[in-house]
């Protein structure tokens, strides 16, 4: 690593630690298991479990009394239909178990997939509607861009590492108020076989920065993708 | 049902399993299981990885030097169960080239990514008719011209361009089509006249981690 690259990395890390030292943040782990099953032809069933364990929170953030805390479990089921090799539409339902509460969410999404010379990209547009007894209904409209690049060669082969970056923008409407959440998720993936991959990295989320003090969430993302 | 869900969430609220880091250990254990399973599996393995020029057979390296290609060359080694090949990939005058060599450095072929309009109209007409006979509707993903023949011919082709050559020309066309209500990719190999020589179904790479 040359000196210039080292200093850029140092500045980026310092700014992250600066943000982290600010009051409004959450830090934790975000494990997920994604199971895909081809039902027939162009139809696929996706079942996803995602957990969330919080390890620390900022001084101004008193969301949790006692840490660490296992905050939530999400179970989502989506049915997708490939309208083309590059286009997939999906819809489904998510149930969230969060600190004794039950939350429901319906999901609709459209994904456009592209393959470049040495990368794969996807553009995902999705909408979801969340309902619970304790909070106002929440409506979100999201756009996510993903790029996947092999760390060796021009395509990700079996038993190879790859880099994947997600960048998502979430427009949120809840109780008559609008908010924007931005997510940046750089992960390192490993492809065991065509049907089994794991990904580990940082899931950084920022929200409430339009009208209030920004809230920063840092998650250690651990994902398994399994297909059969 | 609601009672059952409440019971689960109540148990989760006790958090003892997670507070002691057991949860993380469980995840690591699952990953370890996958690794173990994978190392014992006997599945077909194909790998392509970047190599340094110093690892390239001298014959292959000299061939590229003699071609006087003034571009950054990326070298790859492709390993499959029955074959090992060395590939030089580069962009020259706006086109993507792939020059394939055997493990010992003997030239095998040159592939160049081209556009449909670069194929002679009369050849494309024949090719399109033959493809439509097999696939009612199709979309083009990629077209490559593939040149094989004597090393001296291939060297001349690389040096002087593709208009005047003695090489054997073939077309490799990757298409997408829906057959029996399933979208898939197909690789079509055709000769210089547009006659189809081979059709192969391509295994679609999983896109689950790009969708969810």
| Segments of chain B with pLDDT less than 70 | 1-46, 162-165
* Interatomic CA distance for residues B2 and A215, integer angstroms: 33
> Any idea which fold A3-227 has?
Porin (2.40.160)
* Interatomic CA distance for residues B185 and B177, integer angstroms: 6
Provide the pLDDT for residue B1: 42
Contact status of B32 with chain A (Cβ, < 8 Å):
no
Q: What would the DSSP string read from start to end of B38-105?
A: HHH------EEEEE-GGGS-HHHHHHHHHTT--S--EEEEEE-SS-EEEEEEEEETTEEEEEEEETT-
- Classified as helix, coil or strand, A148 is strand
Provide the pLDDT for residue A1: 45
Which helix (H) or strand (E) is A16 found in, with range? helix A3-21
CA-wise closest residue to B71 among B107, B101, B52, B95: B95
Contact status of A90 with chain B (Cβ, < 8 Å):
yes
* Ramachandran area for residue A134 (φ above 0: left; ψ -120 to 50: alpha; else beta): alpha
* Interatomic CA distance for residues A136 and A139, integer angstroms: 10
- Between A and B, how many residue pairs show a Cβ–Cβ distance under 8 A? 141
pLDDT tens profile A144-200: 999 999 998 888 988 899 999 999 999 999 999 999 999 999 999 999 998 999 999
**DSSP assignment, residue B150?**
-
pLDDT tens profile A84-138: 889 999 999 999 999 889 999 999 999 999 988 889 999 999 999 999 998 999 9
Q: At what angle do helices B58-66 and B151-160 cross, to 10 degrees?
A: 40
Distance, in angstroms, between A151 CA and closest chain B CA? 9
Which A-chain residues 129-188 have CB contacts (< 8 A) with chain B?
A: 146, 148, 152-160, 164
- The residue written with tokens 């001298």 in the block is B58
Work out the burial of residue B57: count CB atoms within 10 Å of its CB; fewer than 13 is exposed, 13-18 middle, 19 or more buried.
middle
CB B97 within 8 A of CB B111: yes
What is the band of A9 on the pLDDT scale with cuts at 50, 70, 90? low
Contact status of A31 with chain B (Cβ, < 8 Å):
yes
pLDDT exceeds 70 at position A140: yes
* Interatomic CA distance for residues A152 and B199, integer angstroms: 29
Cis-peptide, bond into residue B99, ω within 30° of zero: no
pLDDT exceeds 80 at position A142: yes
Provide the pLDDT for residue B167: 86
Distance, in angstroms, between B50 CA and closest chain A CA? 5
Provide the pLDDT for residue B158: 86
Provide the pLDDT for residue B204: 84
pLDDT tens profile B156-209: 888 877 666 678 999 999 999 988 888 889 999 999 999 999 999 988 889 999
Provide the pLDDT for residue B157: 86
- Classified as helix, coil or strand, A211 is coil
Considering CB atoms only, which of A68, A101, A122 is closest to B19? A68
Which B-chain residues 42-81 have CB contacts (< 8 A) with chain A?
A: 43, 45-50, 76
Provide the pLDDT for residue B36: 53
Lowest mean pLDDT among A16-25, A29-38, A86-95, B166-175: A16-25
Which B-chain residues 171-190 have CB contacts (< 8 A) with chain A?
A: 176, 180-185
Counting residues of chain A whose pLDDT is more than 70, the rounded percentage is 88
Residue A25, C-beta contacts closer than 8 angstroms, at least 6 positions apart = A19, A56, A57, A58, A61, A215, A216, A217, A218
């Amino acid at each position: 690593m040359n000196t210039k690259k080292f200093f850029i990395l140092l500045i980026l890390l310092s700014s992250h630690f600066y943000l982290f030292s600010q009051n409004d943040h959450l830090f934790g782990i975000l494990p997920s298991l994604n199971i895909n099953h081809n039902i027939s032809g162009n139809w696929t069933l996706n079942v996803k479990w995602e957990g969330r364990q919080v390890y620390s929170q900022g001084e101004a953030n008193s969301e949790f009394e006692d840490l660490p805390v296992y905050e939530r479990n999400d179970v989502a089921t989506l049915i997708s239909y490939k309208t083309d090799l590059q286009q997939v539409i999906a819809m489904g339902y998510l149930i969230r178990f969060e600190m004794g509460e039950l939350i429901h969410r319906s999901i609709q999404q459209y994904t456009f997939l592209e393959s470049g010379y040495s990368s794969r990209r996807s553009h995902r547009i999705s909408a979801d509607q969340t309902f619970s007894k304790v909070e106002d209904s929440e409506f979100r409209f999201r756009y996510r861009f993903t790029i996947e690049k092999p760390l060796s060669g021009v395509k990700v082969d079996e038993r190879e590492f790859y880099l994947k970056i997600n960048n998502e923008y979430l427009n949120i409407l809840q109780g008559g108020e609008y908010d924007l959440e931005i997510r940046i998720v750089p992960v390192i993936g490993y492809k065991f076989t065509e049907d089994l991959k794991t990904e580990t990295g940082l899931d950084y989320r920022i929200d409430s920065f339009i009208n209030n003090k920004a809230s920063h969430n840092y998650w250690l993302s651990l994902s398994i993708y399994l297909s059969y | 049902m609601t009672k059952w869900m409440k019971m689960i969430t109540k148990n989760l609220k006790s958090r003892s399993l997670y507070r002691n880091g057991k949860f993380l250990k469980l995840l690591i254990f699952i990953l370890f299981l996958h690794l173990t399973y994978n190392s014992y599996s006997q599945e077909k393995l194909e790998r392509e990885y970047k190599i340094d020029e110093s690892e390239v057979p001298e014959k292959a390296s000299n061939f590229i030097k003699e071609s006087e290609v003034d571009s950054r060359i990326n070298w790859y080694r492709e390993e499959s169960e029955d074959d090992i090949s060395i590939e030089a990939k580069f962009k020259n005058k706006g086109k993507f080239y792939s020059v394939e060599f055997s493990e010992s450095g003997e030239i095998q072929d040159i592939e160049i990514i081209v556009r449909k309009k670069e194929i002679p109209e009369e050849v494309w007409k024949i090719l399109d008719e033959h493809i439509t006979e097999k696939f009612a509707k199709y979309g083009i993903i990629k077209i490559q011209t593939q040149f094989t023949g004597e090393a001296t011919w291939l060297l001349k082709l690389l040096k002087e361009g593709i208009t005047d050559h003695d090489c054997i020309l073939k077309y490799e066309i990757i298409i997408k089509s829906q057959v029996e209500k399933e979208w898939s990719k197909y690789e079509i190999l055709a000769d210089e006249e547009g006659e189809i020589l081979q059709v192969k179904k391509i295994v679609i790479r999983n896109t689950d981690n790009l969708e969810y």
